[in-house]
Amino acid sequence: MKYKRILLKLSGEALMGERQYGIDPKRLAEYADEIKAIHNKGVEIAIVIGGGNIFRGIAGASNGMDRVQGDYMGMLATVINGMALQGALEDKGMLTRLQTALKIEAIAEPYIKRRAVRHLEKGRIVIFGAGTGNPYFTTDTAAVLRGVEVHADVILKGTRVDGIYDSDPEKNANAVKFESITFDDVIKKGLNVMDSTAFTLSQENALPIVVFDMNKKGNLLKICNGENIGTVVKI
C-alpha cells in the first residue's frame, strides 16, 4: 500500500444516497465495503464526516439563527453520522472507535490524540465526530487538524466528482480536470478544494490531499494502491 495511515473525509450529503435528506442505509453499506477493502490490506483508517445531510450551522445562521448555536447543532449532526457509519462498519466485522470533540460519553470516547493513535496502531478504525469542537470551523478543517495530529500520510477527500476541475463539472461540460496540482496553483487559480483554513493548515504541515469520487466502486483501494485516481494536491 502506498499509504500506511489515511484520514478519509466524507461529506454528510454523500450519506443521503438518492434521498433528499437523512441517511441512506444502502449508501452506508457501500462505503463500509470500500473501507473494508483497504482495512483488509492493513491500512490504518481515520474518518471525519460532515453533517450537511442533517443540519448545516452556516445555513441556519443565514436564516436568522445564532451562528454559534447553529454550529453546535451541526457538530451534533456529525456525531449522528459517525454513529451510523460506525454501525455499518461493525456490521462488516471491523473494530471501530467513535471519538468526539464534545463530551458525549454515553455514546463515544472524548477525543484524546494518544488514544486515537493507539487505536489506529491496533487496527481499529477511528471516527472523529463533532468537528473541532469549536464554532466557526468546518469539518474540512477538523479533518486536516485530526490528520495532522494523528500523523496521517494523506487526506483523502471523497466527493461525488472525480477530482479537481478548473470549473464546476456539473455545470460546465467543458471543465478541465487536473491530474495533479500544487497548493500554490490551487490558490492562484481560486479553486475550491477545501475552505481556506483547512487548506492552509494542510499546506503548512505538508499534508497532501487527494480529491476523488467516493461513489465509484474500488476507487479508495486503487488510491491506496498508488494508482492515479482523482486529483492530488501536492507540495
Going by the annotation, the residues of the binding site for ATP are: 9-12, 52, 56, 159, 165, 168
Give the sign of the dihedral formed by CA 18, CA 19, CA 20, CA 25: negative
Annotated binding site: 9-12, 51-52, 56, 71, 132-139, 159, 165, 168
Which residues line the annotated binding site for UMP? 51, 71, 132-139
Question: What DSSP string runs through the chain?
Answer: ---SEEEEEE-TGGGGTTSSSS--HHHHHHHHHHHHHHHTTT-EEEEEE--TTT--HHHHHHTT--HHHHHHHHHHHHHHHHHHHHHHHHHTT--EEEEESS--TTTSEEP-HHHHHHHHHTT-EEEEESTTSSTT--HHHHHHHHHHHTT-SEEEEEESSSSEESS-TTT-TTPPEESEEEHHHHHHHT--SS-HHHHHHHHHTT--EEEEETTSTTHHHHHHTT---SEEEE-
User: How many residues can be counted in the chain?
Assistant: 235
**Grid coordinates belonging to 139:** 469539518
**Environment class of residue 49 by beta-carbon count within 10 Å: exposed (0-12), middle (13-18) or buried (19+)?**
buried
